[in-house]
Copies of this chain bind each other. A is one copy, B any other.
Amino acid sequence: MTARQVGILGASGYTGAELVRLISTHPEMEIAAMTADRKAGQQMADVFPHLRHLDLPRLTTIEQTDLAGLDLIFCALPHATSQAVIAALPPGPKVVDLSADFRLRDLEAYRRWYGQPHAAPDLQAQAVYGLTEFYREEIRAARLVAGTGCNAATGLYALLPLVEAGVIDPDEIIIDLATGVSGAGRAAKEGMLHAEISEGFAAYSVAAHRHMAEFDQEFSRAAGRPVEVTFTPHLLPQNRGILATVYVKGAPEEVHAALADRYADEPFLIVLPLGSHPATRHVRGSNYVHLGVVADRRAGRAMVFSTLDNLTKGSSGQAVQNANLMLGLPETAGLTLAPLFP
């Protein structure tokens, strides 16, 4: 069988480069088109020299590119832009969107969190939220899958089974999280300079981070009633990796059992023994999630830890996993690379 032909829109960002890295050793996927409006005409090796060994199509503008014959399109464009671009795509190819544009089923929530009305409400109605392990069958059947926020995925993996199982108090969830900087993308910003980031640590978007909208949507659905959590993200002096430290009220053994049971057959989700906790460095560059539960010294409380690589399982790896499902390929194809350590 010939490999499935895929395109990448917005290939000049970090999630675009990560898609190329993963697909380059994928046994049944081939990159047939890559767009990057501001870098059109360049070779990917000029934009990302680490991909120099690959034989890739030259970067083009979306307008220049024949997308109709592709099997699937990864859209790695900024939010707002994505809505317009995806709405104008030919009807044939399936679409995995890595932006925030189709994550929120409630159009009003979109307007509130992203500050503007949704421009493609019909498409939103068809979109499936891309948290693979919780929407697998819908993703298999979807034409449009909305990749999750990377912080959102990290917290959801820790908590969704607990809310579903009813083993914690959903009104007392605190998600403290730290993320590497690659999630902020490749745009040149003073605050993302090496001299500003390295050797330092701080919170960001406190009480205001947009991934809270995804928490609200998914936890409320799981609980069957509105749930709001407290969420504080921090920025780490490292490139990849997210660790969520989640404070819950519930019996630690039940919490651990709920996670272990829920993920027992999942190829990418690994629950450590009760009392162990994970490190971002041990999932770097991979599609694996490591989860741990530790009992607090105070009875009836526990800490749940969840870690993944924001560029892999948090975005581009998740996108490939979902694409595999949408294309009828083995779900883990191209995604079993071991983490890079040290």
Contacts and interface: CB of A to CB of B under 8 A. Distances in A.
B341 A201 contact: no
A25 interface: yes
Copies in the complex: 4
A46 to B, nearest CB: 10
Contact of A196 (B234, B278, B342): B342
A190 B199 CA distance: 19
B340 A200 contact: no
Contacts of A200: 238, 241, 279-282, 284
Nearest to A192: B193
Interface residues of A, number: 81
Contacts of A341: 17, 21, 48, 50
Contact of A239 (B187, B195, B228): B195
Contacts of A25: 25, 336-338
A247 B240 CA distance: 26
A61 interface: no
A237 B237 contact: yes
Nearest to A48: B341
B238 A198 contact: yes
Contacts of A336: 24-25, 53
B174 A212 contact: no
A300 to B, nearest CB: 11
Question: Among the interface residues A281, A294, A303, which one has the most CB atoms of the partner chain B within 10 A?
Answer: A281
Interface string A83-107: 0000000000000000000000000
A219 interface: no
B337 A337 contact: yes
A206 interface: yes
A20 interface: yes
A181 B207 contact: no
Most chain B C-beta atoms within 10 Å of own C-beta, residue among A270, A279, A283, A298 = A279
Contacts of A338: 20-21, 24-25, 50-51, 53-54
